[in-house]
Amino acid sequence: MIARFTTYPATCHPDDVLQMILDDQYSNWFYLDVLARGAYPAYMRRYFEKENIHIKMEAVDDEILNNNTIDFTAFSYYFSQVSTVNQGWEKTSGNLIMANKNPHLESSEWGWQKDPVGLRITLNQVYDRYQLPIFIAENGLGAKDVLENDGSVHDSYRIDYIKTHVEQMKEAILDGVDLIGYTMWGFIDIVSCGSMEMSKRYGVIYVDQDDEGKGSKKRYKKDSFYWYKKCIESNGEDLE
């Protein structure tokens, strides 16, 4: 799988559109192109030359790549990004990558911009490019959750995030995309690998542990647990 970031030009200026194409090639398509097409794409030659990168290939390497392509594509999707030649463009505060900010999108508490339509765009782009089944390996929302005295966690914001992304997956299927699976990140709270803290929670099950590793380690089902259970049981039909 790859970490996929849907990429938009910041403006309709040709330089921004070209920058979007380059960013998409170097940050996204390169990896899937090798895996799905079985060869290094031509556009990387210029990049390698510019960065003084020399790929040492053995005689059989091209054949190995060509004969071992993937049967389906897989990617994680959390947010989209903006491409521009404007060096002064406002940046996001996300900790996975530092991206240009999209003024049309809302951001999470950690600066990751929420873009469910971007998932539909990516699904169409990836399927159009490779005509292979697609599996969404990761998708979710990191947020600060509050454990109530009765053991409940009311995370309507997470339900809304997953719901809007499932709705766009259904739209992509109607578009003709062969989407074969989806897993959210993650089912249970763990230390976030991005910000290295427990308080950035992704799970539908709450774990009583703080950023210092203190807590009972007891587990509590969040509101999103019960919602996601219905979503799974109905194969995405019951989203209420």
Amino acid, res. 162: I
On whether residue 156 sits in a domain, the answer given is yes
Global pTM reads 0.94
- What pLDDT digit, counting tens, does each position of 24-71 carry? 999 899 999 999 999 999 999 999 999 999 999 998 999 999 999 999
- pLDDT at position 95 is 54
d(CA 13, CA 180): 37
The pLDDT value given to residue 238: 95
If one counts the domains in the chain, the total is 1
Q: Give a three-class secondary structure readout of 66-80.
A: HHCCCCCEEEEEEEE
* Distance between CA atoms of residues 39 and 64, nearest Å: 9
Predicted pLDDT at 13: 97
pLDDT of residue 85: 96
Residue 240 located in a structural domain:
no
| pLDDT score at 94 | 63
Residue 86's pLDDT is 94
Pairwise CA distance, residues 188 & 190, whole Å: 6
* pLDDT profile of the chain (240 residues), mean per 10: 94 97 94 97 95 94 97 96 93 73 90 94 98 97 96 98 98 98 95 87 97 96 98 95
217-237 pLDDT, tens digit per residue, is 999 999 999 999 999 999 999
The answer to whether 82 touches 24, Cβ cutoff 8 Å, is no
Task: Write down the pLDDT at residue 96.
Answer: 63
CA 22 to chain CA mean position, Å: 19
Residue 31 covered by a domain: yes
We report the CATH number of the domain holding residue 174 as 3.20.20.80
Q: Which domain holds residue 208?
A: 2-233
Reported as type and span, the H/E element at residue 206 is strand 205-207
In a domain, 238, yes or no: no
Residue 183 to residue 188: CA distance in whole angstroms: 12
